[in-house]
Structure 1
Amino acid sequence: MQRIDELEEIMEQHTERLIRLAYYYVKDLQSAEDIVQDVFIKFYDNWQSYEERGELKAYLSRLVINRSKDYLRSWTYRKIRVQNKIFAKQNIMKKDALIQQDEHAIIENAILALPLIQREALIYFYFEEMPVADIADLIDVPVSTVKTRLRRGRELLKPKLKHIEWEVLMHE
């Protein structure tokens, strides 16, 4: 029973520092906690072989460093790293898609608030991706009129969409 009490006291004194040390190596809090737990289990199992020749703090630190390096060399770590990269890319793509959807909705609402003349030109040009000449033929106005309506529509949108990166609407 005394051994368990001693181990609890040692764990209380050193756990936080050892987790931080492991984290500096593996850069993952959960893995760092697992490493420190493994170190304490190993320390408990080999208690009798530990000789107090040096400081316990240095001994535990050395165990954590060695276990962290072993973990970094392990197949598990490499597999987790690859999985994390894949999931990170997927999450970024999902976030980007959600942001794009949100921005498109805001842009669409701003365009719908424009007067019909500018709105019409912008919708055909950006959403239907029609060339200016085709828009002019469709609404039966000169090409220069379509260009003017597009320019004025963009000018009207600019103050409404200050907070959104809408460089898509800036090309001609």
Structure 2
Amino acid sequence: MDRNELIEIMDQHTEHLLRIAYCYVMDLHAAEDIVQEVFIKFYSNQHKYEERGEVRAYLAKMTVNKSKDYLRSWNYRKVQLQHKFSPQAGKRNLDGLVKKEEQQLIGEAILKLPLKQREVLVHFYFNEMTIGEIASTVSIPESTVKTRLTRGRELLRNQLRGIEWEVLLNE
């Protein structure tokens, strides 16, 4: 893979990967760092990538894993402690990722969900992945994905009472 191919891949997938990382870490700067690390790792380990599947799914899996690594890291814990002592430091503007007012309300409600429910809802609704693709990306059984989707929808319904969201109301 040459430099131009990498730039093309980055142009095609950066926004998608940024959304995935952001939904895990809920910090735009950390999400940008994670996506950058994913592309560096992809480029430096390109000999390990076999062209068996779609690059988008491969990069998404790498992003999920990097995001989970970040959430387990000391750096993340240190930032969380700083946010507890300085609440203003933790607030981020979501306008760049979520443009419409309704999407912003729903996005914020999803970000308040526990990680297990949040990740499957984001993959299912925003990334338009199938249950099988989610199971593969997150490395869990399909039945677990279905259970987490059901539980996530219930939690969202409770948070979004009075706000109509067609997709949730029809399921």
TM-score by length of 1: 0.50
- For 1:47-104, what per-residue CA distance to the aligned partner results, in whole angstroms no more than 9, with x for missing partners? 111101111110000000000000000111001011011111799xxxxxxxxxxxxx
User: SS of the counterpart of 2:17?
Assistant: helix
* 1:82 pairs with 2:81: yes
Instruction: Summarize the alignment of residues 50-69 of structure 1 with structure 2, pairs less than 5 Å apart.
Output: 50-69=49-68
RCO higher in structure (CA 8 A, sep ≥6):
2
Q: 1:89 to 1:26 in 2, by over 3 A?
A: closer
User: SS of the counterpart of 1:34?
Assistant: helix
Larger Rg: 1
Distance in 1 (CA, whole Å) between partners of 2:68 and 2:61 is 11
Q: Over aligned residues, Cα RMSD in angstroms?
A: 1.8
- For 1:107-151, what per-residue CA distance to the aligned partner results, in whole angstroms no more than 9, with x for missing partners? xxxxxxxxxxxxxxxxxxxxxxxxxxxxxxxxxxxxxxxxxxxxx
* 1:10 pairs with 2:16: no
Instruction: Summarize the alignment of residues 122-141 of structure 1 with structure 2, pairs less than 5 Å apart.
Output: none
Instruction: Summarize the alignment of residues 90-169 of structure 1 with structure 2, pairs less than 5 Å apart.
Output: none
Give the letter aligned to residue 49 of structure 1.
K
Q: 1:45 to 1:90 in 2, by over 3 A?
A: closer
Ranges in structure 1 where 5+ consecutive residues have no aligned partner: 92-172
Ranges in structure 2 where 5+ consecutive residues have no aligned partner: 91-171
Q: 1:52 to 1:70 in 2, by over 3 A?
A: same
Provide the residue aligned with 2:32 in structure 1.
Answer: 33
Q: 1:89 to 1:28 in 2, by over 3 A?
A: closer
TM-score by length of 2: 0.50
Distance in 1 (CA, whole Å) between partners of 2:5 and 2:83 is 38
Report percent identity of matched pairs. Answer: 59
Distance in 2 (CA, whole Å) between partners of 1:86 and 1:70 is 24
Distance in 2 (CA, whole Å) between partners of 1:51 and 1:57 is 13
Q: 1:5 to 1:79 in 2, by over 3 A?
A: same
Which of the pair is proportionally richer in helix?
1
Q: 1:86 to 1:10 in 2, by over 3 A?
A: same
Shift of 1:40: 0.2
Distance in 2 (CA, whole Å) between partners of 1:62 and 1:73 is 17
